[in-house]
Chains A and B, each alone.
Chain A
Amino acid sequence: MSSQSCAAPLRAVDEVVVDPDGTSAAARKRVTRDDPYLVGHYPDFTIYPGVFQLESVIQTARELIGAPARLVKIRSLRFTAPLLDGDELSIALTLSEDLVAKTLVVKARCTRGDGTAAASMILEFAR
């Protein structure tokens, strides 16, 4: 695994594009059975764990917020389609501030290569 700034189960994004305004980003990840952990999930057929979609969003958010960004809350998280070996995952996220909670709010949608919605989530990160 290539050098990384904090512990992570795998490299969960292949490419990230941050919008110039710094409040949104898009990323993609190709699911491959060769990634760490996937050999055990499961031995006979590969399903990208739902929590790795969460990891993809966290790694994308770190491109916007900065590497040490710490997840403090999952407000909501839904997985709506499985991702299998070879599938392409697209991540689209927006960043805003919760002035009351003093956190950064990340809203993200993950889409499978065939256009099917794969996950949606609202996360909070420490400022």
Chain B
Amino acid sequence: MIEHGDIKSILPHRHPVLLVDRVLEVRAGGRIVTVKAVSGSEPCYAGLPDDAPAEAYDFPASLLVESFGQSGALLWLHTMRAGDGVPPGTLIFAQARDCVFEGAARPGDVLRHEVRIETLKPNNVFLTGETYVGDRRIASMGSAMAVIRETDSLSPAPASDPTAAAAAVNSMGETA
């Protein structure tokens, strides 16, 4: 099990966009199971009027996909560290196919992501998996792909501090 604080030594994402609460299990090259609690106190629910219908509280699909993707990133990084090491750069969500959203999560629900590696290459990974709330499957991700991009190709205008960007990336390479 990997607790939330320790996830920060693996992923560069920070509050409030670190959307994995806990890793329940992970096997290098295999599968990861993570949970993320959906709470009415998170930013995505901030602007709802008092008379909003129940459906308005569906956890946004974009955030569900992000939470799933971060779970996949954890699996990928765990796998790379167990093998040849993590290549330098930033992990970027590149594409997805055949993602079906069968249900929704609402405040009080706990998302459980089960993510598996389909194909592993030195600089990219194909993932697949599902998201559950209890026994109810609410999403199945046919295929998602992430790539490692050199951070220099992402950095903004020269005025920014390149060492700051490097620090964000280096946090992905530190051992948990």
Question: Which residues of chain A have a CB within 8 Å of any CB of chain B?
Answer: 1-10, 36-45, 47, 49-52, 54-55, 58, 68, 70-79, 82, 84-86
Report A10 CB to chain B, min CB distance, Å.
8
B13 at the interface (CB under 8 A from A): yes
B46 at the interface (CB under 8 A from A): yes
Contact sample, A vs B, 13 pairs, CB 8 Å cutoff: A2-B47, A3-B49, A6-B55, A7-B58, A7-B59, A36-B46, A50-B93, A70-B55, A71-B101, A74-B99, A76-B97, A77-B99, A86-B156
With a cutoff of 8 Å between Cβ atoms, the chain B residues found around residue A5 in the complex are: 52, 56
Question: Which residues of chain B have a CB within 8 Å of any CB of chain A?
Answer: 12-18, 43-49, 52-53, 55-63, 65-66, 69, 90, 92-102, 104, 149, 154-156, 160-161, 164-165, 167-168
**Contacts A1-B46, A9-B43 given: A42-B168 contact, CB under 8 Å?**
yes
5 smallest beta-carbon distances between A and B, as pairs? A40-B14, A44-B164, A1-B47, A40-B17, A74-B99
Q: Are B18 and A40 in contact (CB under 8 A)?
A: yes
**Contacts A9-B43, A44-B168, A47-B154 given: A54-B62 contact, CB under 8 Å?**
yes
CA distance A52 to B65 in the complex (A): 10
CA distance A15 to B21 in the complex (A): 34
Report B50 CB to chain A, min CB distance, Å.
10
CA distance A47 to B154 in the complex (A): 8
CA distance A58 to B63 in the complex (A): 12
Question: Within the complex, which residue of A1, A36, A39, A77 is in contact with B95, where a contact is CB–CB below 8 Å?
Answer: A77
With a cutoff of 8 Å between Cβ atoms, the chain A residues found around residue B165 in the complex are: 44-45
With a cutoff of 8 Å between Cβ atoms, the chain B residues found around residue A2 in the complex are: 47
With a cutoff of 8 Å between Cβ atoms, the chain A residues found around residue B62 in the complex are: 9, 51-52, 54-55, 58
